Structure 1
Amino acid sequence: MIPEAVARSPYVSLVTFRRNGTPVATPVWAVAEGTELLVWTRDDSWKVKRLRQDPRVTVTPCDVRGRIAEDARTVEGTGRLLEGADGLGRVRKAMARKYGLRFRLMDVVGALVRGGKRPHVGISVTL
């Protein structure tokens, strides 16, 4: 079950782990869908590379800069990549529902800048 504070938060701090176990936090947009937390990111990002090596993650509500409130609860989970059109399409639709025009503009403008390419991947986090 996804905690209400995580589901409501505009940003969450997604922590992935380097090979040596060092945690790396990244503030991301995330959408609660059923028992999963969905994240959208570039397919060449370091968090994707770290998830390919180690599926462990933690998630904590945060602000746009990744600052975490003192009373925020961190939840442990497992991340898996949603590669392919079906998985990414599901994440895009969920992001558009939660973030609306902000997400759509970012997605469309980004695709235009990259000549129509959308080098993204979805991440499914099970908490």
Structure 2
Amino acid sequence: MEDTSLERLGAGKYLLITSYRKNGTPVATPVWVVRDGDALGVWSAADAWKVKRIRARGDVLVGPCDLRGNPTGEQVPATAEITDAETTAHYRKLIARKYGLVGRLSLLGSRLRRGVDGAVGIRVTL
């Protein structure tokens, strides 16, 4: 079942990742997602609040959603961790491949605004 969930979530266009504030309040955020072996890969600005929340607490909920973050399926428990620069670069390539021109333009815009170190990868394991 876990592999089926991984395939389904990795094949979707958006992933709703719910991280938690220090006081335990859940915060859901829609993100682009790619499958990376036995995990899911997400890319985000390094100074985003979701990155800060994941650094403090790695347990998250993930599930499929639409562009606006409306859930389109069940959320499942997962663990999220911030990746190193090499894995972040790998996720950028996977995102560019999956999301085509829009993905490449978003990655380019991010690199121009924030530089190479302005984004991080987030590895999500179910």
Q: TM-score, normalised by structure 1?
A: 0.89
- Partner residue of 1:120? 119
Contact 2:18 2:61 (C-alpha < 8 Å) held by counterparts: yes
Q: Please, what is the CA RMSD of the aligned residues?
A: 1.4
**Residue 82 of structure 1 aligns to which amino acid in structure 2?**
T
Question: How many equivalent pairs are there?
Answer: 122
* Superposition map of 1:1-127 within 5 A: 1=3, 3=5, 4-69=7-72, 72-84=73-85, 86-112=86-112, 114=113, 117-118=115-116, 119-127=118-126
Ranges in structure 2 where 5+ consecutive residues have no aligned partner: none
Q: Provide the rounded CA distance (Å) in 2 between the counterparts of 1:81 and 1:42.
A: 11
Q: Provide the rounded CA distance (Å) in 1 between the counterparts of 2:108 and 2:21.
A: 32
Superposition deviation, residue 61 in structure 1: 0.2
Q: After TM superposition, where is structure 1 displaced by more than 4 Å over at least 4 residues in a row?
A: none
**Residue 76 of structure 2 aligns to which amino acid in structure 1?**
V
Q: SS state of the match for residue 69, structure 2?
A: coil
Superposition deviation, residue 8 in structure 1: 1.9
Contact 1:16 1:24 (C-alpha < 8 Å) held by counterparts: yes
**Residue deviations 1:21-71 (CA, integer Å, cap 9, x gap):** 1110000001111111000000000011001110001111000000113xx
Q: Provide the rounded CA distance (Å) in 2 between the counterparts of 1:2 and 1:25.
A: 23
Among the aligned pairs, what percent are the same residue? 43
